[in-house]
Amino acid sequence: MTTPFSNETTTTAQSAPTAPATIPDRSAMQCALNHAVTRGGAPGMVVEVRDDRGRWFGSAGVSDTGTGRERRPSERFRIGSTTKAFTAALVLRLAAEGKLGLDDTMERWLPGLVAGNGHDGRAITIRQLLNHTSGILNYGNDPEFFKRGVGAAWFQHRYDTYAPERLIRIGLATPPAFAPGDAFLYSNTNYFLAALIVEKATGGTFAQALTQWIVQPLKLTGTYLPGAEPTIRGPHPRHYSTLFSSDAQPEVHDATEMNQSFAWAAGGIISTTGDLQRFFGALLRGRLLPAEQQQDMFTTVDTTGPVPWIPSTRYGLGVFAQTLPTGVTVWGNAGATYGSWTYAVGTRDGGHLLASQVNGDWSGLGAFDGILTTEFGAAAERASSPRTHGAGGDTRHAGR
């Protein structure tokens, strides 16, 4: 089978070896995958890897604890905040077309919306939304909103539809954490604002723009924004969640069906491991964005901020750079939502990619530690060389 990129071969953990020389040896990765599921007690996990040896898919555990159905390569799942890379790429595509500018202000595009409680839409730019230096708080951290998604309350509200403006106003109800550009604070509110600007710039819905500018050009056949649609189309694993329970031994619930309008452009996309590799491969290799916008996307800011984020990371526009314990730096994004954690990263030149998902939400990012360090061992990598970083791999001050 051929991959989305020319002349690459595909192999899976399930395939019988027909020519050992052509099938990448991923026994260590399979062991790491098995260990991640066993140690964390996750229902199931998948990993898809692509490098110059070809493409490999491995799985552990199950898609459905009731039937014992195995995880498969074609499965669709909720990717959480990995969505932000798609949103940022869309904004940058529009910037390349001259439909908007990264240093345009909120007031220019959304007059009167970002105001009050110390917020000033004249001082916040699109760039600062995308790299989380706007100072605007995350609507998800609002105590009243958060309570709707915990335990029994989740079942009462799982099909609720949220208008973007409603959630933005929740984020703006708290004064900014700092002046725009002064620090980093991760906030879904930023990406809701960016998506509203996309709609103003294109005259259509955010979902339509995403399809036109990203999904269709890259032929991402398993990727879509469901809006208020509660089900996942096509083959998919069940998504198992503890619903943020603080119990020592929390009950696990099937959270597969839900209305993710509460996540929208910040975390609502559904995709597959193959589509994530196609997307991040195109992004990292410079096939999706012109050089100027590529430079913008991979210019990073410090993530320690007033609320420290993922250790050993820096954040660009919808993507992060993470230095692993092996010393290798990978680029991409990760995300979580009810019943699903996703990681999709690669070397800066896009020559070595990994996409993974676990269909349970209690293991956290630690579920991916073993597979990341196993796959991106220092001895095997060329990503840290100046050649592979190239233009767009530099770092600049948050205030840019």
Calpha distance 23→26 (Å, rounded) = 9
The answer, as to whether pTM is greater than 0.85, is yes
From first to last of its 400 residues, the chain has per-residue pLDDT tens of 222 222 233 333 433 333 333 345 789 999 999 999 998 899 999 999 999 989 999 999 999 999 999 999 999 999 999 999 999 999 999 999 999 999 999 999 999 999 999 999 999 999 999 999 999 999 999 999 999 999 999 999 999 999 999 999 999 999 999 999 999 999 999 999 999 999 999 999 999 999 999 999 999 999 999 999 999 999 999 999 999 988 888 999 999 999 999 999 999 999 999 999 999 999 999 999 999 999 999 999 999 989 999 999 999 999 999 999 999 999 999 999 999 999 999 999 999 999 999 999 998 888 999 999 999 986 444 444 333 333 333 333 233 2
Beta partners for 394? none
Helices (H), 45-163: 83-96, 106-109, 126-130, 143-147, 152-157
Burial call 61-91: b when 16+ CB within 10 Å, e when fewer:
bbbbbeeeebbbbebbbbbbbbbbbbbbbbb
Q: Are 391 and 318 in contact (CB under 8 A)?
A: no
- Annotated active-site positions, please? 81
DSSP, residue by residue, 150-192: STHHHHHHTT----HHHHHHHHHTSPPSSSTTSS----HHHHH
* Closest-CA residue to 384 (of 353, 341, 349, 343): 349
Burial call 190-224: b when 16+ CB within 10 Å, e when fewer:
bbbbbbbbbbebbeeebbebbbebbbeebebebbb
CA-CA distances (angstroms) from residue 193 to 50, 188, 234, 260?
A: 34, 9, 30, 17
